[in-house]
A = this chain, B = another copy of it.
Amino acid sequence: MCRFVVYKGTSPVELSHLLTRPCHSIINQAFDSRLRLDRRRPMNGDGFGVGWYDSVYDEESYQPCIFTSITPAWNNVNLVRLAEKIKSPLVFGHVRATTAGSLSLDNCHPFVHGRLMFMHNGGIADFPLVKRKLQADLPDVAFNKVQGNTDSEWAFALFMSKLPDPSAKSFTTAMLRDAMFKTIASLNEYAEEAGITEPSLMNFCVTDGETVIATRYISSKTDEAASLWFSSGTTFSEFGGGGHYKMSKADKRENIIMVASEPLTFERADWMEIKTNNMVVVTPKMNLLQIPIVDKFYTPPSDPASLTRTTEFAREKGLLVPRNMEAMEGEELES
């Protein structure tokens, strides 16, 4: 049961507005029982990571900086202090529950290679059964990159292997998009070859510092994927105190696009759900596209079957978060 958030803006955001100050940041959600449905490991206290790009673009070397920790995010004094000082136009944040892999900095998302940054919310079903095949297919650069022991990091290595050159100085949006399609397709092939029937939850997120690709995907025709939301607007700022933030739309321009495994504000209208088995692409010019991931697990919205995906699987994994948190809160306060 991990959580992640992506921020991409035309102007840099101070990390504190994304991570430490909002009462609905992924870090503060980490101890909010309203949203916790996974009984087995419910609070994202198993480490976190944040990655960001410089405010100034440097074509030669535009690599993200990463800060990770194995102590819980919510009382990490270094994170609190750094978040007040660092500004960035493109940020990935991730909190982790150790569904797989031990508690170790090596296992904290986001993972980085050159310009690329990658994170995952979900899990590859029966990963030990596909690990050897996946590894065998990797070129050395990807194979040797992996430091930890999570399905997520190996998925990143697989993604790297689908790019013409994962160490390149620049990527096109199409390269990243196609590599993501191929990554999901390969993971599905491995699972099929291994006879795995449990669905894999593949909410991946990758960026090269310019394009952002995020997927909401499950290898199932009948289950909902882990939740994924986006919001866009002109400014993301606090109102009224108490860590309550909202997204404002001053005009037609979209200066900010956020993608997150949970809505990060109380405002219902701020957040749109990304549909199961769709990909969101944020282009360098801040255009946002939704692209269906069409394979045997896909159901077109026109097909009535698209409405009957069940939520039990993702919910059991603690990965399904509804939008209307106000309602949930109300319910709980009454109980």
Interface residues of A (CB under 8 A from B): 31-33, 36, 39, 41-43, 45-46, 54, 65-72, 74-75, 77-78, 81-82, 84-85, 98, 102-106, 128, 132, 135-136, 140, 143-144, 146-149, 331-332, 335
Chain B residues with CB under 8 A of A335: 331-332, 335
**Contact status A102-B331, CB under 8 Å:** no
Q: What chain B residues lie within 8 Å of A69 (beta carbons)?
A: 78
Closest to A39 in B: B32
Contacts of A103 in B (CB 8 A): 71, 75, 77, 105
Q: How many copies of this chain are found per oligomer?
A: 4
Query: Which of B33, B41, B78 meets A42, CB within 8 Å?
Result: B33
What are 21 of the A-B contact pairs (CB < 8 Å)? Answer: A31-B41, A32-B39, A33-B42, A41-B74, A43-B43, A46-B75, A54-B85, A65-B82, A67-B81, A70-B71, A77-B102, A77-B105, A78-B78, A102-B147, A128-B144, A132-B135, A132-B136, A135-B135, A148-B149, A149-B149, A332-B335
In the complex, are the beta carbons of B54 and A75 less than 8 A apart?
Answer: no
Contact of A102 among B81, B105, B132, B136 (CB under 8 A): B105
Interface contacts beyond A65-B82, A66-B78, A136-B136: sample of 4 additional A-B pairs, CB < 8 Å, sorted by A = A31-B43, A65-B81, A106-B148, A135-B135
Q: How far is the CB of A224 from chain B (nearest CB, A)?
A: 20
- List, in ascending order, chain B residues with CB within 8 A of A140's CB: 128
CA distance A332 to B39 in the complex (A): 11
How close is A54's CB to chain B, nearest CB, in angstroms?
A: 7
Q: A48 to B67, alpha carbons, bound, how many Å? A: 17
Complex Cα–Cα for A188 and B67 (A) = 39
Chain B residues lying within 8 Å of A148, measured Cβ to Cβ, are 104, 106, 149
Q: Which residues of B contact A136 (CB under 8 A)?
A: 132, 136
Asked if residues A72 and B85 are in contact (CB atoms below 8 Å), the reply is no
Beta-carbon contact of B68 and A45 below 8 Å: no
Given contacts A85-B54, A106-B149, contact A42 B31 (CB under 8 A): yes
Known A75-B98, A335-B331; judge A65-B84 contact (CB<8 A).
yes
CA distance A272 to B330 in the complex (A): 33
Contacts of A68 in B (CB 8 A): 77-78
